Amino acid sequence: MFQTKNKFFKSIVPLALIFVFSCSGNHKKFELNEQILYKVVRIVDGDTYVLEDNNGTKEKIRIIGADTPETKHPKKGKEPFGPEATEFAKKYLSNKVVQLKFEKGKRDRYKRVLAHVYINDIHFNKMLIDSGYAKSSFYAPNYAFKEVFEASENQAKQSNIGIWGIDTGN
């Protein structure tokens, strides 16, 4: 009799726990899937956006490999071309549907999702660099587009566009 009860509890307790945790609260998890299209619901600045997945869950995204000048940094304040980079992102991404592609590192130290953003099959991270609104910038372990982005940055520098057209007096 004791063995029958013991077998019963061993089989029913895990099922009960799964049921309780799946039904408790309103915890939605942001879907990190390359097949899902995401809606851009807010532009924080040139390289950080808030996206919504098809479950209605919102998440802050930081693009990989491109760093735009700051607009809201507590110590740096507004940097030259920061507002322009933000406006550029708003122009191309606001309320648009995008696809994300990921590398090995999925989140940064601020818990933002790290991703490459594509709009109509155009790599937006690279587009920012091509247009002179961002520098190439890489952190381990995400280096997939390092050479491509550095070449784009060099071309923008040679063309003196965006941040590369600023006269710093040097």
Active-site residues: which are they?
62, 70, 112
Taking alpha carbons only, the member of 41, 44, 70 closest to residue 57 is: 41
In degrees rounded to 5, what are phi and psi of residue 137?
-155, 120
CA distances from 81 to 77, 162, 168 (A): 12, 7, 13
Q: What is the DSSP letter of 75?
A: T
Buried residues in 84-120 as b, exposed as e (16+ CB within 10 A)? bbbebbbebbeeeebbbebeeeeeeeeebbbbbbbee
Runs of H (alpha helix) within the chain = 2-23, 82-93, 124-130, 146-158
d(CA 30, CA 57): 6
